[in-house]
Structure 1
Amino acid sequence: MENDIYQVYEDEIHSLEEEIEMLTQKFENNEQESTFYSDEEIQVSGKSHQGDSKWHESPPDLKPELECLKSDLSFLMKFTGIWFTNYSKETVEKTGNKIIQKHRLSGNCCSLPFQMEFQLLEIQDDESIPAVVTDLSIIMECGEYSDLSKFVSCAEEQGSLLQFFRSLSFFAEWYEHRKCTFQHFKAKYPDIVRLPAGSSGDYLVIRSHELSGFELIIVWKIYVDEEGRVTPVLDLLPRIPAQALEDKVTTVENGPQCFRSMLHLLGIEASIENLIQSVSMEK
């Protein structure tokens, strides 16, 4: 009888040992996965700990680190001009060590708002393989901005987030510079300067009151090449009426070359200023 009782205990102990071994093996196999949680799991976990005051308090040693990260993020947003307003993600696929997540975010760079959606493929067990961005879709209000439309199409084709944000920062900087420059000259010379496409357009028109039909059109494009390099390109297009004098025609025909030389010597604003003053002082 006593031996039977011991046998029962031994069987129970053996069963528990097997269960512990199984759970240990399961834990080791899923150790890496334990660091990934969905938003729903985080919310449920947070609710289950509402009664625990320690859950709501950040460890003292993490608070300075959190403040430092916030400060760094604020600096980066001010430095690049890129501000994120909304962000969400969802797990599309999770098989073995492969995770595919869909990310959605929106924000603005200077005065250019944007939205994007993309999938991110990660291989957990191989740090040598970088995460791969696929199905990148960018929504921006391109409208009449042909430069911006080409830039967005190029970024979607290449699927490089780093290149997109870096190029977007430079593009937006030149875009704002062009816009402010056009607004400045329109306000300073309202009777001479016209902006047919608005201050956000890519050209400015200087017209002469002394010679009807005579105009100088300053075209200011912002190009983005396949490698994401942003380059502003300015040129001068004269519009000459048929009744213009011969000496005047010769001078105007050499205008584009002279304008490009002025850009190198004086810069954009000073070159436009000189053109406007030369037209306004013509007799």
Structure 2
Amino acid sequence: MDEGNFQAYEGEIQALQEEIRQLTEEYEDIQQESTFYSDEEILKAIKSLEGETQGENNGCASLSDLKAELESLERDLSFLTAFTGFHFTSHSKKTLERTKTRTVQRHRLSGKCHSLSFQVEFQLLEMPDSEKVSSVVSDLSIVMESIEDSNVSKFVSSTEECGDLLAFFRSISAYAEWYEHRKCTFLHFKAKYPDIVTLPEGLLGDFITLRNPKVAGFELMIFWKIHLDEEGIATPVLDLLPKVPEQVMEQRMVTVSIPGCFRSMIRLFGIEAAIENLIRVLRSEK
């Protein structure tokens, strides 16, 4: 075999090796993509499997084991969702680079934390050494849906700049928990005192209004903000703004000390008890 033919075969071999490598990476990406199935889809799959294995003793035994394993996984997932508030709806990743010393992947993740939806996209660099695999997050992009809060926007921007994905999940979990608690509290008082409590901005708003229908013009607005600082610490901030007619102020000696008294009640009794006591006092006014 002359040298020209040898080089031609060598070139074809290298081209085939490169094609095999690319196909292998694509196959691994497809295998690694995570898809989240609904309860309905899972039940359909179980019924289909039951139909295929009906009448086969060995198959029935295997099906029983699969059901038990599936139920165990569902209990674990339910516990984690209840404990953290996170429910992931989709996840995909694509390998951008793979060598002996490093692997670069692009991840896309979406889901909810309680009732807050989010989408996260980032690049993950993994570099294995003799003891462990070090990972570096970069190119982080976060989208929070249905939230018009400047503090959250600042925190998200700061998190994207430093690429701290763990801090994002930890802080959003605390924020979403307070967000859900506020919504449930507003709903509770609206249902319990429909003649006094109104929600001008609905359950997603950050304030409620208290009115005594027997006292015209008397109104109390309770503002409940959730402050998220740049370090990711979520803190509830409540305040009260009274709207008192002049004749009511003169007759009942209502002063600007009402907001201070409300904040003192929160420190002593907690948020729900303070609002409850305020409503009871308001209802007693005639």
Give TM-score scaled by structure 1 length.
0.70
**Offset at residue 278 of structure 1 (A):** 1.3
1:105 to 109, 118, 130: 109
Distance (Å, rounded) in 1 between the aligned partners of 2:197 and 2:30: 58
Q: In the alignment, which residue of structure 2 is the partner of 1:114? A: 118
Do the aligned partners of residues 190 and 155 (structure 1) sit closer, same or farther apart at CA in structure 2, a change above 3 Å counting? farther
1:245 to 233, 240, 249: 249
**Offset at residue 213 of structure 1 (A):** 2.5
Q: In the alignment, which residue of structure 2 is the partner of 1:27? A: none
Q: How many residues align?
A: 229
Q: In the alignment, which residue of structure 1 is the partner of 2:85? A: 81
Distance (Å, rounded) in 2 between the aligned partners of 1:184 and 1:70: 31
Deviations 1:13-68 (A, max 9, x none): xxxxxxxxxxxxxxxxxxxxx9xx64524769xxxxxxxxxxxxxxxxxxx99998
2:193 to 171, 178, 189: 189
1:259 to 259, 262, 267: 262
Do the aligned partners of residues 239 and 126 (structure 1) sit closer, same or farther apart at CA in structure 2, a change above 3 Å counting? farther
Q: In the alignment, which residue of structure 1 is the partner of 2:209? A: 205
Distance (Å, rounded) in 2 between the aligned partners of 1:187 and 1:67: 37
Q: In the alignment, which residue of structure 2 is the partner of 1:223? A: 227
Q: Is 1:131 aligned to 2:135, yes or no?
A: yes
Do the aligned partners of residues 266 and 135 (structure 1) sit closer, same or farther apart at CA in structure 2, a change above 3 Å counting? same
Distance (Å, rounded) in 2 between the aligned partners of 1:43 and 1:116: 20
Percent identity between the aligned chains? 58
SS of 1:88 mapped into structure 2: strand
Q: Is 1:40 aligned to 2:27, yes or no?
A: yes
Distance (Å, rounded) in 2 between the aligned partners of 1:197 and 1:144: 13
Q: Is the 8 A contact 2:249 2:255 kept in 1?
A: no
Q: Is the 8 A contact 1:84 1:107 kept in 2?
A: yes
| AA at the equivalent of 1:269 | E
Distance (Å, rounded) in 2 between the aligned partners of 1:130 and 1:73: 27
Q: In the alignment, which residue of structure 1 is the partner of 2:278? A: 275
Deviations 1:213-270 (A, max 9, x none): 321111111112222221111111112334443364x534111111111112111111
| AA at the equivalent of 1:259 | F
Distance (Å, rounded) in 2 between the aligned partners of 1:151 and 1:274: 35
Distance (Å, rounded) in 2 between the aligned partners of 1:71 and 1:230: 29
Distance (Å, rounded) in 2 between the aligned partners of 1:147 and 1:180: 22
1:170-181 correspondence runs (5 A): 170-181=174-185
Distance (Å, rounded) in 1 between the aligned partners of 2:29 and 2:185: 49
Do the aligned partners of residues 201 and 92 (structure 1) sit closer, same or farther apart at CA in structure 2, a change above 3 Å counting? same
Q: Is the 8 A contact 1:147 1:221 kept in 2?
A: no
Q: Is the 8 A contact 2:155 2:231 kept in 1?
A: no
Do the aligned partners of residues 168 and 278 (structure 1) sit closer, same or farther apart at CA in structure 2, a change above 3 Å counting? same
1:28-67 correspondence runs (5 A): 38=25, 40-41=27-28
Q: Is the 8 A contact 1:86 1:106 kept in 2?
A: yes
| AA at the equivalent of 1:40 | Y
Q: Is the 8 A contact 1:144 1:201 kept in 2?
A: no
Deviations 1:2-22 (A, max 9, x none): xxxxxxxxxxxxxxxxxxxxx
Q: Is the 8 A contact 2:29 2:93 kept in 1?
A: no
| AA at the equivalent of 2:259 | P
| AA at the equivalent of 1:114 | F
**Offset at residue 211 of structure 1 (A):** 3.4
1:90 to 87, 90, 94: 94
Q: Is the 8 A contact 1:122 1:131 kept in 2?
A: yes
Q: Is the 8 A contact 2:217 2:245 kept in 1?
A: yes
